Amino acid sequence: MQGVTTKGAGAGLRERKKQATRAALGEAAVRLAAEHGAENVTVEAISSAAGVSARTFFNYFDSHDDAFVMLDTEIGERIRCAVRDAPAELSPLDAVREAMAGELADVEERHEVWSLRAKVLQKSPHLLARGLGQHMAEERDLARTIAQRLAPGDGTDSPDSGERGGVGSESDRGAGTSAGTDADPCDDTDIALYPRLLAAVAGTAVRVSVEHWYAQSPPVSFPDIFRDVFTHLSAGLPRPTPQTDDRPSGGRSTES
């Protein structure tokens, strides 16, 4: 997941400090880039604005460009861990929803930064492409984790799924790829259709939730919108009735 830097449920003091430093660096980078252009902002300037050394910067970002797109592979790993550790009785969709919700706890506090980030990426196509590549890698890793939850023979790996032997395969049970590695982004032939689809749909659901939340005036509670999006998915996306269609109240009927 990109652009989300949260406190993380149950995180210890050390982890929260790391997340806070990373968030400060990312925010400083975006604010400077919005004012001066990403190509004119140095690592030294970002670090100074965040109150840390340039050496510390590289403890959190592999490159200058990563700070502007606010990539955080640790968020992806926390989501995957939450999916793996979710109660067995949760459906795969519910497990992914709860894992992502835990990383979106402070979205409303970061509205301004996310808006600035969107403007920075629009002006720098190479940064947008970098973020897209990271997103694809995170999505592939999440799909492997979803596959790990699925028992062989549950119907998700049937011949009409378009995949053979993906769910429960040795590669699914193994380490998988890290979103930060140089793995081939097209090397996903070992992943079955259902995990791939769920990972992609969940990522899209987060993006749509954020975009719809941005568009609301007056502001609507982000958790309400996020919940409504996944409610639509759980229901199989039937055509909404006038009472359940997209509402500015974020999931509550406007009828008196």
For the chain, which domains are there? 13-150+165-234 (1.10.357.10)
pLDDT in tens, 64-87: 999 998 877 788 999 999 999 999
pLDDT of residue 186: 54
Mean pLDDT across 88-114: 89
C-alpha to C-alpha distance for 133 and 127, rounded to whole angstroms: 10
DSSP 3-state assignment of 40? Answer: helix
Query: Does residue 14 carry a pLDDT above 90?
Result: no
Contact present, 171 and 141 (Cβ < 8 Å): no
Sign, Cα dihedral of 44, 45, 46, 51: positive
pLDDT of residue 108: 79
DSSP 3-state assignment of 2? Answer: strand
pLDDT of residue 206: 93
pLDDT in tens, 19-40: 889 989 999 999 999 999 999 9
pLDDT in tens, 36-51: 999 999 999 999 999 9
C-alpha to C-alpha distance for 236 and 240, rounded to whole angstroms: 11
Mean pLDDT across 198-221: 88
pLDDT in tens, 138-153: 999 999 999 999 855 4
